[in-house]
């Protein structure tokens, strides 16, 4: 993976954000941070490739009760994931007070319950590392916030105070929770502070250049610790202006451009990825012009679109959407995922599928034992925001208690994810076939815990060693699929893709580059399908990457919920 400079310089962006005088002061402080960095090698890592694949996991997803969880995870990853995943996204591993790590108390420490910085750096021997840069908010128990409440010099403007003349009527909300939380300062003054995500998560005030400089210092610290990819958490809400939506503001994009410009100067190999669970066009705006903002954006439309495809047995909407899926430059790529530590966002379907399609997904997920989280609208109403369910259980036929195609349907959905242009990302609980975790929801009261189970290592090993277990029947075929994918040049993120209409029950696309021509065919239905590629391939022989040769392009049979990757020779 590579990053390349582009767009305005650091000083110019700072002046656009803060004006000339304050922009110059900010530049002086930032230059002081950058002065100790050596001149980088701009040719490091020539670009994205088909071998780039990311595993998403918490540091304590696996436990054995004897060692720090990060050591347990490292050993498991080394045994099962080496030479499959190129990178590991370690979800927030810092001391925290809530939200399973996203209310950070100290950005520069490792939660001692997980391990140490040495444990994290150890992963670098075999995997690149992706860190969360939780830059929108901090914990109410953070020393920084305590300094703000005490009025210490340099922290007076850390938080965003909402006053009587602050107009919040147009603010876009990601939660059905109050926007502001009241706190008492050390001098007895009560203030209402902006808390977008919860009363424990204090939004940072980026209008204060001292906040900006502190967070840049955090970012550079992560790079020194080996972060190869930086995930800008909740970045869409970063900048607030009275009377606006306070989402995707021009100043927010300027901050992303600033971070990119800084990294392009001192560490051009480091990738920025933006996390913006919003409608597709809003989401991809964080690519900027293809050179000046994020190198990767989460493909948030993919998870709910795939779910809709398999539950309706209709690949038509997916095919129409995927046909326009193209990154804006050779230096950018989609981050293709179906599951993560969060739920399945439904806002990304807005403008692509009608409202009744979202309601259909809500009903289906509830039938499959899932939950639904809502957001507050400016008019006071609520709308579905995300579906809380493991992606494995989301792929069950809602009408059946025992679904014989459950595992095949899930694996078929992953086959589509893996064939689309971009860098694939796989949540550890997907590859491990983890089911809904109701105990976690009951214990915490948080719907998202349904997909955040902590697994006992000994029990996990026993299940994986049992060929009849649900986990085993997902884990090993999934790993084989991943191994197969990373060796195909046509799956390079920059390789061409064309989507074909082969009927509503089949997703069909062709990935092509100079070295290879691949057909990706997936039956999204519960019935066998026969299709022809005669018009596209003629008499050209086809062979399956999974081992079948001499496949007749005129009559290709796909069993229910089966996938084929065919190479044209």
pLDDT per residue over 253-296, tens digit each? 999 999 999 999 999 999 999 999 999 999 999 999 999 999 99
Average pLDDT over residues 535-555: 83
Closest CA to 428 of 412, 400, 451: 451
| Residue 68 reports pLDDT greater than 70 | yes
Residue 5 is predicted with a pLDDT of 46
Cα separation values, 427 from 36, 183, 342, 473, Å? 37, 37, 10, 17
Q: Are 369 and 393 in contact (CB under 8 A)?
A: yes
Q: What is the pLDDT of residue 42?
A: 63
Residue 38 is encoded by which pair of tokens?
Answer: 């050596």
Q: Would you state the pLDDT for residue 40?
A: 81
Q: Is residue 510 within 8 Å of residue 504, measured between CB atoms?
A: no
pLDDT at 4: 43
Q: Taking 60 as the threshold, does the pLDDT of residue 338 lie above it? A: yes
Rounded Cα gap, residues 230 and 215, in angstroms: 13
Give the separation between CA 314 and CA 467, rounded to whole angstroms.
Answer: 32
Q: What is the pLDDT of residue 346?
A: 96
2-14 pLDDT, tens digit each? 444 456 899 999 9
Give the separation between CA 189 and CA 45, rounded to whole angstroms. 53
In whole angstroms, give the CA distance from residue 257 to residue 296. Answer: 13
Using DSSP's 3-state secondary structure scheme, residue 333 falls into: strand
Q: What is the pTM of this model?
A: 0.96
Distances in whole angstroms, Cα of residue 469 to Cα of each of 62, 369, 405: 18, 20, 15
Q: Under 8 Å CB-to-CB from 429, ≥6 apart: which residues? A: 61, 339, 390, 392, 451, 452, 453
| Cβ neighbours for 75, distance < 8 A, ≥ 6 positions apart | none
Instruction: Tell me how far CA of residue 115 lies from CA of 78, 111, 119, 516, in angstroms.
Output: 17, 7, 6, 44
Q: Which residue has the tokens 């110059």?
A: 24
Structural domains for the chain: 496-568 (2.60.40.1180)
Tell me the DSSP string of 170-238. T---SSSS-SEEEEE-TTS-EEEEE-SSBTTEEEB-TTSHHHHHHHHHHHHHHHHTTEEEEEETTGGG-
- How high is the mean pLDDT of the chain? 95
pLDDT, average across residues 214-220: 98
CA 65 to chain centre: 29
Catalytic residue among 233, 264, 342, 393: 233
Active-site residue, 125 included: no
């Amino acid at each position: 993976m590579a990053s390349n400079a582009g767009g305005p310089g650091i000083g110019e962006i700072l002046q656009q954000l803060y004006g000339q005088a304050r922009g110059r002061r900010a530049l002086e402080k930032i230059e002081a941070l950058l002065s100790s960095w050596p001149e980088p090698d701009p040719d490091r890592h020539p670009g994205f490739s088909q071998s780039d694949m990311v595993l998403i996991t918490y540091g304590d997803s696996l436990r054995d009760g004897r060692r720090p969880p990060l050591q347990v995870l490292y050993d498991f990853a080394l045994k099962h994931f080496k030479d499959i995943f190129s990178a590991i996204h370690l979800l927030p591993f810092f001391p925290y007070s809530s939200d399973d790590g996203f209310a950070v108390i100290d950005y520069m420490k490792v939660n001692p319950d997980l391990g140490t910085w040495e444990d994290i750096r150890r992963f670098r021997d075999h995997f690149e590392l992706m860190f969360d840069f939780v830059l929108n908010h901090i914990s109410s128990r953070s020393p920084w916030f305590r300094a703000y409440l005490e009025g210490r010099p340099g922290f007076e403007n850390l938080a965003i105070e909402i006053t009587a003349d602050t107009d919040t009527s147009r603010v876009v909300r990601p939660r059905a929770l109050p926007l502001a939380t009241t706190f008492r300062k050390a001098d007895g003054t009560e203030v209402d502070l902006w808390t977008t995500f919860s009363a424990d998560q204090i939004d940072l005030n980026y209008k204060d250049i001292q906040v900006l400089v502190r967070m840049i210092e955090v970012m550079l610290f992560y790079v020194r610790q080996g972060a190869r990819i930086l995930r800008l958490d909740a970045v869409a809400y970063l900048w607030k202006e009275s009377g606006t939506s306070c989402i995707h503001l021009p100043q927010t994009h300027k901050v992303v451009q600033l971070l990119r410009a800084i990294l392009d100067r001192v560490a051009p190999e480091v990738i920025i990825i933006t996390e913006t669970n919003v409608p597709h066009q809003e989401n991809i705006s964080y690519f900027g012009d293809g050179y000046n903002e994020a190198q990767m954006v989460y493909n948030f439309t993919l998870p709910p679109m795939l779910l809709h495809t398999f539950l309706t047995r209709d690949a038509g909407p997916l095919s129409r959407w995927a046909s326009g899926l193209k990154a804006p430059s050779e230096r950018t790529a989609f981050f293709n995922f179906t599951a993560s530590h969060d739920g399945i966002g439904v806002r990304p379907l807005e403008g692509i599928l009608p409202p009744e399609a979202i309601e259909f997904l809500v009903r289906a997920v509830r039938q499959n034992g899932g939950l639904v989280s809502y957001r507050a609208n400016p008019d006071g109403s609520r709308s579905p925001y995300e579906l809380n369910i493991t992606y494995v259980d989301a792929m069950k036929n809602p009408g059946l208690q025992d679904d014989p195609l459950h595992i095949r349907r899930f694996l078929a959905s992953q086959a589509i994810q893996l064939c689309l242009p971009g860098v694939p990302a796989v949540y550890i609980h997907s590859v491990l076939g983890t089911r809904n975790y109701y105990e976690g929801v009951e214990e915490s009261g948080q719907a998202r815990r349904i997909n955040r189970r902590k697994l006992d290592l000994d029990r996990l090993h026993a299940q994986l060693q049992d060929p009849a277990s649900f986990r085993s029947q997902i884990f090993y075929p999934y790993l084989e699929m991943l191994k197969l994918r990373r060796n195909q040049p046509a799956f390079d993120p920059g390789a061409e893709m064309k989507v074909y209409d082969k009927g509503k029950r089949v997703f069909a696309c062709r990935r092509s580059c100079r070295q290879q021509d691949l057909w990706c065919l997936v039956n999204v239905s519960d019935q066998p399908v026969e299709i022809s590629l005669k018009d596209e391939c003629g008499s050209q022989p086809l062979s399956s990457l999974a081992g079948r040769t001499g496949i007749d392009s005129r009559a290709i049979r796909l069993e229910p919920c089966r996938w084929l990757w065919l190479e044209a020779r």
